[in-house]
Amino acid sequence: RIFVQDTYIRAARGGTGYAKVGGNYGGGMRASLDAMQYHCKDVLWLDAAENKYVEEIGTSNAFFRINDEVITAPLDSGTILPGITRNSVIMLLKKWGVKVSERKLAIDDIIAASKDGSLQEIFASGTAAVISPIGCLNYKGTDYKVADEQVGPVAQKLYDTLYGIQTGKVEDDMGWTYKLFDLD
């Protein structure tokens, strides 16, 4: 369960939201209190200028799968942290032939997609989160389900692949891992 935060903001144009700096996280704590109040694990941030477009989930990048297109916020506003996991997700999806777009996406479009059944998956990505599937959004006091609230196939495949490559259990055909030394 994720609380759509439409009062407080994480990052604004001209600020430091694109960087992993401690000062960004202080303000986020107050916003997380709201999430807890609504029994949500974290917040979905909206853009500071219009409170309209989705940006990130807590301290992770956010992905939305609607009508077989996977959408994530573009980096040009300077308000999105360019996560290494975000980049890995985009590269894997492209390799698999999944349509992936870095473009602005309005919260209203996500709510409409939840209602008409075209919202297939939402997941967060980050080093700590790896891939975290989202089952439900709470927006303005109403719950909106993400498909059947189960882990979606794209999120599951991304998790299995990323975690598998990190732990050496899945062959790395992306050139992401380096051998530091032999254990024997």
By the criterion CB under 6 A, which residues form the site for ligand PLP? Answer: 20, 56, 59-61, 81, 83-86, 125-127
Task: Give dist(CA 178, CA 122) in Å, integer.
Answer: 31
Task: Give dist(CA 166, CA 164) in Å, integer.
Answer: 5
Nearer to ligand PLP by C-beta: 61 or 138? 61
For the CB of residue 84, give the shortest distance to ligand PLP in the complex, in Å: 4
For the CB of residue 89, give the shortest distance to ligand PLP in the complex, in Å: 9
What are residue 101's DSSP bridge partners?
Answer: 71
Place of tokens 């032999």: 182
Contacts of range 109-113, beta carbons closer than 8 Å, 24 or more positions apart: 109/66, 110/54, 110/64, 110/66, 110/137, 110/144, 111/137, 111/139, 111/144, 113/66, 113/67
Residue number closest to ligand PLP, CB atom: 83
For the CB of residue 143, give the shortest distance to ligand PLP in the complex, in Å: 25
Nearer to ligand PLP by C-beta: 60 or 114? 60
Nearer to ligand PLP by C-beta: 75 or 136? 75
For the CB of residue 113, give the shortest distance to ligand PLP in the complex, in Å: 23
Nearer to ligand PLP by C-beta: 83 or 152? 83
14: CB partners within 8 A, 6+ apart: 78
